[in-house]
A and B are shown apart, each in its own frame.
Chain A
Amino acid sequence: MATASVAHHDAAHHDHHEHEHHDNFITKYIFTQDHKMIGKQFLVTGIFWALIGGFLSILFRLQLGFPDMNLEFLRPLLGGWIDEGGKLDPTFYLALVTMHGTIMVFFVLTAGLSGTFSNFLIPLQIGARDMASGFMNMLSYWFFFLSSVVMFISLFIKTGPAGGGWVVYPPLSALEQAIPGSGLGMTLWLVAMTFFIASSLLGGINYITTVINLRTKGMSFSRLPLTIWAFFLTAVIGLLSFPVLFAAALLLVFDRSFGTSFYLSDIYVAGEALPNTGGSPVLFQHLFWFLGHPEVYIVLLPALGITSEVIATNSRKPIFGYKAMIISMLGITILSFIVWAHHMFVSGMNPFLGSIFMFLTLIIAVPSAVKVFNYLTTLWRGNLIFTPGMLFSIGLVSFFISGGLTGIFLGNSAIDIQLHDTYFVVAHFHLVMGSASFFGLLAGVYHWFPKMFGRMMDARLGYIHFWLTFVGVYLVFFPMHYIGIAGFPRRYYSWTNFEFSNMYTDLNMFVSVAAIVTFSAQFIFLFNFFYSMYRGRKATQNPWRSTTLEWTTPIEPGHGNWPGEIPTVYRWPYDYSKPGAAEDFIPQTVPLSQTPESNLPHEQEQVKLELEIMKEEEEVLVANESKH
């Protein structure tokens, strides 16, 4: 043990000196290997994409809510996509829906959420100087950037971006002659996603390695903050599922560009038979949803982890059921891989197989309910402090419940026959995955902004932002349940063409107005974010009086995070309002031996051991110093 600690201290010193040198602009802000700066790069790029993704949704909401509106005023921006009569081009409508989905799922809620907070928080919260490989981490961001550039360019090409839905089902996506969006737009989509997958894998490998190898002394897995558990499991899911998407996409590329028939069979386009034979489009769905479903949890788990941390801190209570939280996240991780076919109940799949997937799907309700229960019981009778971060976390719990309940309906293969691909599905996943994860992202930004930029965000603007967004999200997505139960399919250009759905015009107008208000409210956040970055109130070292390690670093930590030794961890991260303690929080770095007044009986026994180890450490340290 002694030798190990010598090596440890040596390494720590060495690392520190290495990072002393001054960075120039390029190595500090652009090709940086500092995990904190990379996290911020992911965040800013994610915000950029969120604005674009949100704006695209406003465009198609205008079409859905106001089908007779003259959109001539958008011509300077959309050009030829507005036709002679001032109407939105129907194929461009499909492209808008596709790009909104792709951007939000992958670029905002995967890269923007997991990329930001895994990078920023993992080393800070486990007590590491940086990620396992700073270079790979940098590469991960720049692959994402490259992917972003390609996807962004595809928005402006003549035939328009990909239009086959974010799930890119063949044959629609495989045949260039099917819709304009299946031409160059789809090719760029596939190229962009290839870079994106590479970026996610590089990031994921790094996150897992860092969490397993670089935890500071005393930071056992049972002392990890739940954020880290969530990021860790997210990375594991990504590592196992993204290669499968790559496998599916590669076969699609072969079908598109080389004439193979993996997914294509017996197709007539414009009266002409294609040579392809023997392919199976359902095969693509299997492969796609093997990623696609875990992707839901890649998006959601980090948000749940952030929420655990924010709710515990601002309830001034230990998280209820720490172990249960971990086990339920593990359960979700495992189950996420064996439920994919519930997206395919009506694909012509064997109904017996459907029953099995239905059963497995409904089991996910158990760990999800455990998590909700634990959030509520943590809040229960806590000394709640309503910071903006806390409000957004509570908002997440609300969406997780209301959106999760409809998941129980959709998971049933019989009811799904009616609800499949209707606005009921849209309402469900926008609440439980979209809005919930988005609120987790915002909660994280509000909560860790002081650590990122050394300043506080304005709380009052945060409250306004929260209430407008929270109410807005419900006003947008709640009415969609009704439209969906009525049977209206998603991705349709117009409501008014059908007898059964044209009475929903008013409701759609309402949804569209709510969507515009909600989107506009995000500019309050945007202003707050950039204004506070330069002009915000200066943060104190530990503004939320939190226990985790990141708040023991200087207010604006340099590369290497801690100026001296990396702190050692002596307790779990949720010692809030411990009976007998002087303060209502005890940081993880405070040894049990210093808090005899609040120790529980079994902790009192550990004190003896702790003192022994600390003494031994000191001897090693002294011996080490004299050697130098």
Chain B
Amino acid sequence: MERELKYIDIVEQPISMHPKKFALWLFMVTVVMLFAAWTSAYIVRQAEGNWLEYDLPEIFWYTSGVVVLSSVVLQWAYYSAKKDNLVNLRIGMVITVALGIAFLVGQWYSWVALVDREVFFVGNPAGSFLYVITGMHALHLISGLLFLIIVLISTFRLKVHSQSMNTMEMATTYWHFLGGLWLYLFMFLLLNH
């Protein structure tokens, strides 16, 4: 009897996650696969030799710090929204967006640094890969930033509060994911250099 009770319970509640949130997770899976493809292509190509050696731009350390900080602030904004502290929520969101933009600017300067080192997009694939990986990550980060701005606007319309957290939760998840993705990519580049 015990076993069957459990069985019925599972039947009752398929999954309590909101379908849109679930779809977001699936979308993040596709992004993971995208970067898995590029990073593994990087390894395969590197193993074949004829690979240009150069130092990674130091600015990556700073942008990594910025992205972590932005996630922390966003998480604070999220908790503020949960506690209906809407002023802190807005402050947090604005800071996060500003940090996101700062990150993108930093990534741009990493490209400037690369050009200074005479590592170009066109040339040895070692350099091209770096441009593709950072560029595509920046593109995804822009999509995350747009999402944050949409949520920011809705916070000013008082649409985000403890009773209506869905978009906020999704934006937070996506932003943390993008930050984590960058940390993975940076670590990957450090290790496979």
Contacts and interface: CB of A to CB of B under 8 A. Distances in A.
A408 to B, nearest CB: 28
B37 interface: yes
B10 A240 contact: no
Interface string A537-566: 000000000000000000000000000000
B141 to A, nearest CB: 17
Nearest to A290: B37
A251 B26 contact: no
A606 B136 CA distance: 54
A466 to B, nearest CB: 38
A283 B45 contact: yes
B79 interface: no
A254 B52 CA distance: 19
A316 B171 CA distance: 50
Most interface-central of B38, B48, B51, B125 (chain A CB within 10 A): B125
A278 B20 CA distance: 43
A209 B19 contact: yes
Contact of A205 (B14, B26, B48, B132): B26
B4 A247 contact: no
Given A208-B26, A212-B22, A259-B122, A244 B33 contact: yes
B51 to A, nearest CB: 8
Contacts of A217: 11-12
A258 B51 CA distance: 20
B23 interface: yes
Interface string B23-57: 10011011101101110010011001011100000
Instruction: Report the contact-size class of chain B (Cβ under 8 Å from the partner).
Output: 35 or more
B164 interface: no
B26 A239 contact: yes
A286 B4 contact: no
Contacts of A278: 50-52, 124-126
Interface in A260-317: 260-262, 265, 277-280, 283, 286-287, 290
A169 to B, nearest CB: 15
A290 B41 CA distance: 11
B82 to A, nearest CB: 22
Nearest to A197: B30
B30 A218 contact: no
Contacts of B129: 262
Contacts of B8: 609, 613
Contacts of A279: 125
B15 interface: yes
A544 to B, nearest CB: 27
Contacts of B27: 201, 205
Nearest to A238: B30
Contacts of A247: 34, 37-38, 41
Contact of A254 (B13, B19, B20, B132): B132
Contacts of A260: 121-123, 125, 128
B187 interface: no
Contacts of B123: 260-261
B29 A240 contact: yes
Interface in A578-620: 605-606, 609, 613
Interface in A129-145: 132-133, 136
A220 interface: yes
A260 B41 CA distance: 15
A576 interface: no
B36 to A, nearest CB: 8
A250 interface: yes
B170 to A, nearest CB: 13
B191 interface: no
B26 to A, nearest CB: 4
Given A262-B128, A277-B50, A239 B29 contact: yes
Given A206-B23, A209-B19, A283-B45, A277 B34 contact: no
Interface in A238-260: 239-244, 246-248, 250-251, 254, 258-260
A206 B22 CA distance: 10
Contact of B41 (A213, A220, A283): A283
A609 B132 CA distance: 58
A420 interface: no
Contacts of B125: 260-262, 278-280
28 contacts: A1-B9, A4-B12, A132-B20, A133-B23, A201-B27, A204-B26, A209-B23, A213-B19, A218-B11, A219-B11, A220-B7, A240-B29, A240-B30, A243-B33, A244-B34, A246-B34, A254-B132, A260-B122, A260-B123, A261-B124, A277-B124, A278-B51, A278-B126, A286-B41, A290-B37, A609-B4, A609-B5, A609-B8
Interface of B: 1, 4-5, 7-15, 17, 19-20, 22-23, 26-27, 29-31, 33-34, 36-38, 41, 44-45, 48, 50-52, 121-126, 128-129, 132, 136
Interface of A: 1, 4, 132-133, 136, 201, 204-206, 208-210, 212-215, 217-220, 239-244, 246-248, 250-251, 254, 258-262, 265, 277-280, 283, 286-287, 290, 605-606, 609, 613
Given A133-B19, A210-B19, A248-B37, 12 more contacts: A4-B13, A132-B19, A132-B20, A204-B26, A212-B14, A214-B14, A241-B33, A243-B31, A259-B122, A262-B41, A262-B129, A280-B44
